[in-house]
């Protein structure tokens, strides 16, 4: 009996200490002398020069990858068009079936597989070797390649359905297809954004109910306080792929789901977990999904109008040389991808600034609902493993789709200064 009691006490102590505890720098402690700038700097200075240098190198390398991804993809599209390979792929699809929608789908399948093969050298460097170089990936090459294969299969099947509809719209409405095409694009985008976390993501990871009441119950409490109709919290085994922390609140019409990954549970204090979940709830409560859909509706309308102009002019000049019969020809898909990639590359700051704005709104919501400013600062420090903490204003404007680490820590310390009664990050004001 005594042995069992000792074993139980040891087990209980291990359980309670399994999750990291919150560490607050001296200059960030609440009190009469609390100063926002000093507290912010104290948190930033917890990163060693080596950690900061590694973070900067990884994120700044991403600036160049944006360019190389664009140039590599553009080169692939040009090769497919200039060599006549795209036209030959269309001819092959036409030999297989007489049904035009199936011809389009067959062409799309050829296109996705071929571009995956052509782009594989850059993909394997960017998403496997580079991630391992910075200790951000846990996958073996076989496991990583398996996930890549799943993505290709989903793109072939689901993307093929979308492309069939797009090409059908172009053929049926040759003058106004850019308007109808934008409408179709936004429908597919909205449906994908709403259902992907619930129905697609489980194809890559295992989702289980979070059983730890110490973590689950506070999350559900603040969910109920904010009108989120969720009764369970799910844990996903993201650690099979990487060390990155993440969470989301997703779904609609009864599919609402609160999810956090095991890295968040294993690497963050309970206070940081709660503030991250508050942030994710902010996206849901503030209807960011619908705001994103509205933003992309406007962008799609502009992009499709420019796409129509780009395709018309390009085909008038090179269409015969490329053996493309018109805009409704499946062989024109590489040209459409090229035009859209140019527009997307040029609009990168627009997309980033919109994303950064809604992320900042969710940050403030998360602080107000979780009341854990130090937990929020801790989460920002963990994200520094792959996000530069102190970019210049120009860098943040151009390349950041989330607020920088410094911006987030400063926001949390400002919130803390204005809510001194909540200075106890463990049990603020009895919360």
pLDDT of 363 reads 96
- Both tokens of 313, joined, read 């002019």
Mean pLDDT (whole number) for 197-223: 88
Q: Can you give the pLDDT at residue 192?
A: 81
Question: What count of other Cβ atoms lies within 10 Å of the Cβ of residue 302?
Answer: 14
Query: How distant, in Å, are the alpha carbons of 29, 404, 412, 417 from that of 35?
Result: 9, 20, 12, 7
**CB-based contact 138:238 (threshold 8 Å):** no
Q: pLDDT tier at 8 (50, 70, 90 boundaries)?
A: very low
Instruction: Answer yes or no: is pLDDT of 62 > 90.
Output: yes
Rounded CA gap, 278 and 259, in Å? Answer: 12
Burial 247-265 (b: 16+ CB within 10 A, else e): bbbbbeeeebbbbbbbbbb
Residue 315 has pLDDT above 60, yes or no: yes
Three-state SS string across 310-376, please? HHHHHHHHHHHHHCCCCCCCHHHHHHHHHHHHHHHHHCHHHHHHHHHHHHHHHHHHHHHHHCCHHHH
pLDDT at residue 381, rounded to an integer: 94
Return d(Cα 376, Cα 24) in angstroms, integer: 11
Query: Is residue 310 pLDDT above 80, yes or no?
Result: yes
In sequence order, the 6+-apart residues with CB closer than 8 A to the CB of 82 are 322
- 267 in Cβ contact with 245 (< 8 Å): yes
Q: What does the pLDDT look like over 342-382, one tens digit per residue?
A: 999 999 999 999 999 999 999 999 999 999 999 999 999 99
Residue 425 has pLDDT above 70, yes or no: no
Other C-beta atoms lying within 10 Å of the C-beta of residue 225: 11
| 205's tokens | 């990871």
Distance CA 347, CA 306 (A): 13
Q: Comparing 79-88, 224-233, 368-377, which segment has the lowest mean pLDDT?
A: 224-233
Give the contacts of 405 (CB within 8 A, at least 6 positions apart): 44, 380, 381, 383, 384, 387, 388, 389, 390
- Are 236 and 263 in contact, with CB atoms under 8 Å apart? no
Closest residue by Cα to residue 30 from 429, 322, 431: 429
Least confident interval from 32-46, 235-249, 339-353, 380-394: 235-249
CB 74 within 8 A of CB 334: no
Total-model pTM: 0.86
Q: How many CB atoms lie within 10 A of CB 70?
A: 16
Q: How confident is the model at residue 21 (pLDDT cuts 50, 70, 90)?
A: confident
Three-point CA angle 32, 35, 38, nearest 5° = 135
Whether the predicted pLDDT of 339 surpasses 60: yes
Would you say 203 and 230 are in contact if contact means Cβ atoms under 8 Å apart? no
Residue 7 pLDDT > 60: no
- Encode pLDDT of 392-422 as tens digits: 999 999 999 999 999 999 999 999 999 876 5
What tokens appear for 265 in the block?
């549970």
Indicate the domain borders of the chain: 57-195+289-343
Tell me the C-alpha distance between 330 and 101, whole Å. 10
Strands 233-236 and 257-261: parallel
**What is the rounded distance in angstroms from the CA atom of residue 65 to the CA atom of residue 324?**
31
pLDDT reported for residue 198? 76
pLDDT band at 251 (very low <50, low <70, confident <90, very high): low
Residue 324's pLDDT band (cuts 50, 70, 90):
very high
Q: How far is CA 185 from CA 174, 190, 350, 361, in A?
A: 17, 9, 19, 26
Three-state secondary-structure class, residue 42: helix
Which residues touch 310 (CB under 8 Å, ≥6 apart)?
Answer: 335, 339, 342
Please calculate the CA angle 205-208-209 and round it to the nearest 5 degrees: 150
**Percentage of the chain surpassing pLDDT 90?**
71
pLDDT bin (cut points 50, 70, 90) of residue 163 is: very high
């Amino acid at each position: 009996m005594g042995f069992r009691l000792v074993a139980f006490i040891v087990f209980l102590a291990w359980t309670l200490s399994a999750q990291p505890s919150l560490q607050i720098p001296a200059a960030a402690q609440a009190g009469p002398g609390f100063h926002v700038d000093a507290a912010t700097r104290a948190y930033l200075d917890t990163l060693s020069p080596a950690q900061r240098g590694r973070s900067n190198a990884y994120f700044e390398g991403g600036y160049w990858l944006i360019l190389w991804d664009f140039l590599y993809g553009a080169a692939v599209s040009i090769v497919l068009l200039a060599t006549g390979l795209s036209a030959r792929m269309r001819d092959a699809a036409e030999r297989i079936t007489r049904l035009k929608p199936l011809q389009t789908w067959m062409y799309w399948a050829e296109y996705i597989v071929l571009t995956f093969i052509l782009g594989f050298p850059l993909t394997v460097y960017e998403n496997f070797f580079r991630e391992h170089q910075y200790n951000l990936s846990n996958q073996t090459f076989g496991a990583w390649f398996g996930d890549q294969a799943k993505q290709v299969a989903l793109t072939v099947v689901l993307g093929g359905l979308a492309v069939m509809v797009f090409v059908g719209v172009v053929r049926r409405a040759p003058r106004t297809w850019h308007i109808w095409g934008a409408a179709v694009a936004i429908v597919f985008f909205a449906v994908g954004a709403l259902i992907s976390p619930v129905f697609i993501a489980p194809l890559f990871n295992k989702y289980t109910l979070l059983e730890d009441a110490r973590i689950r119950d506070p999350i559900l409490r603040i969910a109920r306080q904010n009108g989120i109709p969720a009764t369970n919290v799910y844990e996903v085994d993201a650690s099979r792929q990487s060390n990155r922390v993440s969470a989301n609140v997703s779904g609609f019409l009864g599919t609402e789901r609160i999810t956090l990954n095991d890295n968040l549970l294993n690497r963050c204090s309970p206070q940081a977990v709660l503030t991250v979940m508050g942030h994710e709830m902010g996206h849901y409560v503030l209807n960011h999904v619908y705001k994103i859909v509205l933003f992309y509706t406007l962008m799609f309308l502009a992009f499709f109008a420019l796409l129509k102009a780009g395709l018309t002019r390009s085909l008038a000049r090179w269409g015969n040389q490329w053996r493309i019969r018109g805009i409704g020809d499946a062989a024109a898909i590489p040209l459409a991808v090229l035009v859209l990639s140019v527009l997307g590359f040029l609009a990168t700051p627009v997309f980033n600034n919109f994303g950064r704005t809604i992320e900042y709104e969710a940050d403030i919501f998360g602080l107000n609902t979780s009341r854990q400013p130090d937990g929020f600062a801790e989460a920002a420090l963990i994200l520094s493993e792959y996000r530069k903490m102190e970019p210049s204003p120009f860098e943040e404007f151009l390349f950041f789709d989330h607020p920088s680490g410094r911006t987030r820590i400063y926001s949390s310390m400002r919130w803390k200064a204005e809510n001194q009664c909540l200075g106890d990050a463990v049990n603020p004001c009895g919360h």
